[in-house]
Each structure stands twice: as structure tokens, then as C-alpha cells.
Amino acid sequence: MIAPIDVALKMTNLKAKQIDDLLVLGHSTQIQRIQELLKSKVKCEHKSAVNSDEMVVEGAAIQAAKLGGYISKRLTQLSFRDATALSLGVRFRGNLMKVVIPKDSPIPISKQITCTTTYDGQSSMEIQIYEG
């Protein structure tokens, strides 16, 4: 449980002592041991969402306000990091997937890869996009 916290702190260039509030979502966050680990790593009170769907909707609304240019003192104090939940890639050589965008990449993101045709003179190709 501590490793994901360390990764999140590293990705946001924050130290644990800089965190004032922590909102955790998901059923496993209700486990007492998980709560103890969180409290030992991030020395602030954390809030467990009773209704995670509402928290996701609220986060989306706040992100939309920021992207739409709405500015308020509270919004400028919030930090969001949206990321891909799964790796995204293309199928190649049978049923193998070449990862193009790794899991946890920040959104929005743009990547380019070069694909070649199998045969000389081939005028089209089918590209299958996978996640996982």
C-alpha cells in the first residue's frame, strides 16, 4: 500500500508533509490496516468516501471547471493528476501487444509510432488497439 503512495508523491513532486487533505476511494480503503498505513505515511487526516461515484463526479466537475478556464482561489489550490488506468498499445506479430502508452501516463497524452506493412506494395493495413 505504501509503494503507490510513494509513486504518487514522486509523480507530483510533493513530499508527504505537503499534503493537507487526502481523499481515498475504494472498498479496500475501509480496511483498518490500510487506514493505519496511510496515516503513518501521510501525516494528515484522510477522508474515505462513502459514495465513490459522487467523488468521481465531483472530481470530474472540478477538472472541467479548470479546463474551461473557471478560476477561483479554491481551484488554484487543488492539484489533479489524471492518468490512464491501463496501458494502451497496438497488436503486432500474432497476438502480442506493443505498449505505446504505459499505464499511469498523464492525460492528455499524444504518442506516435511507426508501423510498416508486411508486403511490398501493400496499400492498407489494419491496426488493432489494445488496453491492458
Per-residue pLDDT of the chain in tens (132 residues, 90 and over written 9): 567 778 778 877 888 888 877 777 767 777 888 778 888 888 776 666 567 778 778 888 888 888 888 888 877 777 777 788 899 999 887 788 999 999 888 888 999 998 888 889 998 888 899 998
If you search the block for the grid coordinates 465531483, which residue do you land on?
58
- Helix (H) or strand (E) holding 92, with range, is strand 88-92
Single-letter amino acid, residue 92: F
For 82-132, CATH number out of 3.65.10.10, 3.40.50.1820, 2.60.34.10, 2.130.10.10 equals 2.60.34.10
Angle formed at CA 48 by CA 28 and CA 77, multiple of 5 degrees: 125
- Domain segments of the chain as ranges: 1-50, 51-81, 82-132
Residue 39 CA to residue 80 CA, distance in Å, equals: 21
Cα dist from 12 to 4, 37, 78, 96, 101, whole Å = 12, 20, 12, 32, 19
